[in-house]
Structure 1
């Protein structure tokens, strides 16, 4: 069921001040956040399929989270270490996008494709941690969770954005705003529980695409927070999936 969005009358002005750039340019969720450490050159030790469970399944879910749906749908891939039907469907979509046999089984070929999206520092192939650091020079410190947790949240966000990028035809994605320290967030008039202060939100621009087009793609990527497409960037966040802040679906323009 789609829940009517709540008004955010000052948000766009807040973001314009925060960006300073041209317009063109519950408990189970928290447990899931600590289930897997950041991974680079991840060592998959077995083939994973529906019914599998464990930390390697958690890592798989992190990496296919952006393939939550095939069309606009308010849903996400549970990051709980249990390989269920939602994970199977996401794996199939990932496999199809990367030219693999879409059987929903994460074997060597699928795992190799997943690892090709890694960078050696734990970031991903097309995104760097530096792109998401707070604009006040705080890095990943001073948020509403620890810097370690922020960095892990950002890593998970990167994989969703990799899916968005792939769905956009591999067009470049610019990060206008990622993590914000609480002090920086307050200085630009942001809400005290802004998803940016947890590292689960980003404001993005996709080269050559309208914000409406990006909004439509983001509707398939498991994001529970989407700002209106009437502005020149697209806000995306995972507020519900990781049990942060207000626990309601906020797709400001509804399902498009």
Structure 2
């Protein structure tokens, strides 16, 4: 009998190591508290993510760096991984065609299962998503290429249009342990054309990218993002060891760390 899955969120050590690989700063937050080692039941509490079309990338940025304001940086990294895929993404659509059609590189474009699939590969970390499948809610697992830790990122896909970060789950195994749908058992066609049955055989050649050569991808990435008003926000200023870039950040309409007027945790009824 398989051992029960547990709620084992990413640790501070993992976050710091991953942020160092990505060339970004890690922020340890007193308002983001996980309760690990519980059985993987339904989410109990979540950290509320801003809903602006970037919630998937904000959730990933927060889970890794403690700073959801780096969502465009993570969008760039993940779409760069997609661009380097050697196989079609959706049916016979090339990675470049997919990115152009979906405009996934642009601000406020919703992320999908495809981006989650590649995010797990990019970050080399399992991503669990609590989402509705048919008439029931359950966990969907997105696996990395070479799993080297049992720690994972946990997201709650709410109402089919928003992601929050899961910080705790129901601890009662008998009452709440739920099935996990692994990505190998999910066929994304016609939405996604990735042969998951042969995923392990292809990973070494299909994703010719690893944390060791992220620097090449980062150098080729575009960090500027224009909104409808034409103002430009520069994300190079968030990168470590990059002083004196001459970058001037546009004035932000909202302080991403102002939690006085926002409830940080959302208890799920």
TM-score (norm 1): 0.26
Which of the two has higher C-alpha Rg?
A: 2
Tell me: higher relative CO, structure 1 or 2? Use CA pairs within 8 A at least 6 residues apart.
2
Q: Give 1 or 2: higher strand fraction.
A: 2
